[in-house]
Structure 1
Amino acid sequence: MSVGAIGITRFEMERGQQFRRHVHDEHQLAWVSRGVLMVEVDDRYWVLPPSLALWIPAGTWHATIAVHEAVMEGVYVEPAAADRWAEPTVVAMAPLARELLAYLGGALGAAERGRAERVLLDVLEPVDGATIDLPMPRDDRARAVAQLVLGDPAGHASLDVLGREVGASARTLLRIFVAETGMTFAQWRAHARLQGAVAMLASGEPVSRVATRVGYTTSSAFVAAFRRVTGRTPGAYFAPQS
């Protein structure tokens, strides 16, 4: 790998601040050392706490938004140096990876930098199902239903009721959600609720209050749903990876 193949830029972002849809010639590792980041690629959304990052291959159009006040570390990797994954991939940000990024941010000689860059790329490991991935349907009617759910995550309106608002039957919408998101509507709504919950949890709101605000009757039901989707409890989701 060539020396200086990894560049790092720090962005301090206010809540709601975003980088609109853009593309890089380099691979990017999108990571926040503080806060919560949402990344959108082709109508798929990932919500990332500091314990996780998203590998974005070179040439991939994407947008980023700070769900909560955040410090985003833009890590850019020359394609000639590494082609780890051809698709957007969630990776764990273990303590060693974070320390290596801090080390690479300093003044280093060519040999030291080259060694650190190789190790950093070696220690990045994908984490299946660890983040809240929310694909958006493309069909206008289903997308309108999705926006209604996102606007009212605590709502319990049936798909029949939502369908009447957008001019489509529940059966049609069910078929579209499965075909275009890979999820049933119930699964998609659960992911949408949990995605909304992440920003509240990042702000320090207690689990009991967040559970109610996103439509769960008990904290235990919310925690169980969170664990089913991410494989972790809400507390562990924000904890540094070991």
Structure 2
Amino acid sequence: MPAGLVFDWHAHVDHQLAWAASGVLTVRTRESAWVLPTTRALWIPAGVRHETLSAGTATMRSAYVRPAQCPIGWTEPTPVSASPLMAELIGYLEDPVLDGRRRANAEAVLVDILRPVAMTTIEVRMPADDRARQVADLISANLADGRTLAEWGRAVGTSERTLARAFLADTGVSFGRWRTRLRLRAAVGALAAGEPVGNVARHVGYDSDSAFVQAFRRETGVTPAAYFRQGA
């Protein structure tokens, strides 16, 4: 996957196990997003609409498991630890001439070794209100834009109070916290790709490393270093 490639919104009839053999993948549903370094894979249940993208160059590997043959009952996307055995089984299942018996045996081993791991997701809902959505799109295009809500109101032709109500009603959080989450979700992908904290902090609108780390800790409960060390 070259940098910026997006597999747009879709769903599968089979369960999918998505893994980055190199680089970093981001998988999004309507409610949440998972940033996956090589040490994590994501189990995506059949029928769950999602999109997959890569901020930088990545190699995506996937296994597909038939629901009728699968004892896993997870109804939501679930992060799992990516072990060397998991990688070998994905490669084995990619063989197009694999017969039904061997495929079933390999699928059974694959699902048996999958172990869920805790992973903090940074939820960012987009507002439905037209003017709030316009602001959200502009901030998404330039995360370092630090205009106040009053300034944004003047830019899109509405009041600060109207925008504040729209963000709270549509996203469940205040404008300030929504922007923080948007910035941090973007930062997670860059950090997972190996970008220095200082560079990432400035790119997403923080004047100092410490301010960025404090915001990250408030939202996720851990520092950026701990987030990736724990696969949090």
Partner residue in 2 for 1:78 = 66
Equivalent position amino acid for 1:164 in 2: R
Pick closer, same or farther for the CA change 1:44–1:91 going to 2, 3 Å.
closer
Aligned residue for 1:220?
Answer: 210
- Aligned pair count reads 223
Helix, strand or coil: the match of 2:123? Answer: strand
Whole-Å Cα distance in 2 between the matches of residues 85 and 166 of structure 1? 43
Note if 1:59 corresponds to 2:23: no
2:127 to 102, 113, 137: 137
Pairs within 5 Å for 1:36-47 = 36-42=24-30, 44-47=32-35
C-alpha offsets along residues 175-213 of structure 1, whole Å, 9 cap, x if unaligned?
Answer: 222232222211111111122323443454321222122
Aligned partner of 1:98: which letter? S
| Pairing partner for 2:186 from 188, 196, 199 | 196
What is the deviation of 1:51? Answer: 4.0
Q: Is the 8 A contact 2:31 2:123 kept in 1?
A: no
| Cα distance in 2, alignment partners of residues 48 and 166 from structure 1 | 36
SS of the residue 1:208 aligns to: helix
CA deviation map 1:79-128 (0-9, x unaligned):
221453323x34242xxx4223223123898486255224224x124x25
Paired residues for 1:7-156 under 5 Å: 13-42=1-30, 44-80=32-68, 81-87=70-76, 89-93=77-81, 97-104=82-89, 105-106=91-92, 110=102, 113=106, 115-121=108-114, 123-125=115-117, 127=118, 130-156=120-146
Gaps of 5+ in 2: none
CA distance in 1, matches of 2:3, 2:64: 23
Deviates more, 1:97-106 or 1:147-156: 97-106
Asked if structure 1 preserves the Cα contact closer than 8 Å seen for 2:43 and 2:80, the reply is no
- Alpha-carbon RMSD across the aligned residues, in angstroms, is 2.8
> Shift of the alpha carbon at 1:16?
0.6
Counterpart residue identity of residue 116, structure 1 = V
Query: Secondary structure of the residue that 2:211 maps to in structure 1?
Result: helix
Aligned equivalents of 1:76 and 1:68: distance in 2? 24
Structure number with greater CO (CA < 8 Å, separation at least 6) is 1
Residue type of the alignment partner of 1:84? G
The sequence identity of aligned pairs, in percent, is: 46
- Structure 2: how far apart are the matches of 1:196 and 1:161? 23
With the length of structure 1 as denominator, give the TM-score of the two structures.
0.78
Range with bigger deviation, 157-166 or 133-142 = 133-142
Residues 70 and 236 of structure 1: is their aligned pair in 2 closer, same or farther, counting only changes over 3 Å? Answer: farther
TM-score w.r.t. structure 2 length?
A: 0.80
Give secondary structure in 2 for the equivalent of 1:113: helix
The letter of the residue matching 1:197 is A
